[in-house]
Amino acid sequence: MLHGTAQGDEMILDVIDVNVLYGNDVCGDFSEACFEITIIPWLVSFFKAMLSQLLELIGDVSVQLLLKLFKLFGDLGDALVYFTGLILQILLLRIKVTINFCEAFFIVFFFPVTAAKSSVPQILQ
Between 12 and 46, residue with greater pLDDT: 46
SS (H, E, C) 43-80: HHHHHHHHHHHHHHHHHHHHHHHHHHHHHHHHHHHHHH
- Reported as a pLDDT band with limits 50, 70 and 90, residue 118 is low
Residue 46 has pLDDT above 50, yes or no: yes
pTM higher than 0.85, yes or no? no
For residues 49 and 57, give the distance between their C-alpha atoms in angstroms, rounded to a whole number.
Answer: 12
Taking only the tens place, the pLDDT of each residue in 76-98 is 999 999 999 999 999 999 999 99
Domain spans in the chain, listed from the N-terminal domain onward: 6-124
- Reported as a pLDDT band with limits 50, 70 and 90, residue 36 is confident
